[in-house]
Amino acid sequence: VLMGDVRAGVRAGNQLAELQTTIDFSQPGFWPWEDTYARLLLTAGDTEAAEHVVEAAEERSRSSSIASATARIAGPRASLLIQQGDIAAGLAVLDGAVEQLRPLQLPYYEARLLFNLGQALRRVGKRKQADDVLAQASDLFSAMGAGEFLAMTNRERRAGGLGQRTPQFAG
């Protein structure tokens, strides 16, 4: 999530959450929003609300055959686990979600999860592994022409002290 206006994102997520209580617009057929909303709530510091959103989305995805729904919500689930001190479980959740998405050919979601995994790895001191994962995310963002996400990923690589190359957009 590009976090330019977290408060506006949280307000939009609150409206979607309220609407979801009266109209079932869960997967498929509607923009998948819970992962974005949960990430915004975590950024805003509302861990309890993020946990609630993640739990509800996980419950819905358990009754669905849509693998991408399960994989997408893994990002905020992993963040919650890491915040609670279970780093190994959080990293495992992210790694599993990436592997679940790879055969589905959903590069945006795969790149976002790779970014989250790389960021988490860097923050726990696994800089080389983080840089390798972030390089994969950079390549996907570059191929999509997702300039802001590419820049964000390259900043994360530089923060790790290892990432030197900046992929050019595929054309």
| pTM beyond cutoff 0.75 | yes
Contact 9, 49 (CB under 8 A): no
Residue 131 CB-density burial (10 A; 0-12 exposed, 13-18 middle, 19+ buried): buried
Residue 164, pLDDT score:
59
Picking from 106, 107, 99, 94, the residue whose alpha carbon sits closest to that of residue 140 is 107
43-69, pLDDT tens digit by residue? 999 999 999 999 988 988 887 778 888
Contact 13, 36 (CB under 8 A): yes
Largest CA distance in the chain: 49
Average pLDDT for runs of 10 along the chain of length 171:
69 78 61 85 94 91 81 93 95 95 91 94 94 96 94 93 61 49
User: Would you mind telling me the total number of residues written for the chain in this entry?
Assistant: 171
Helices 107-123/67-83 angle, 10° precision: 20
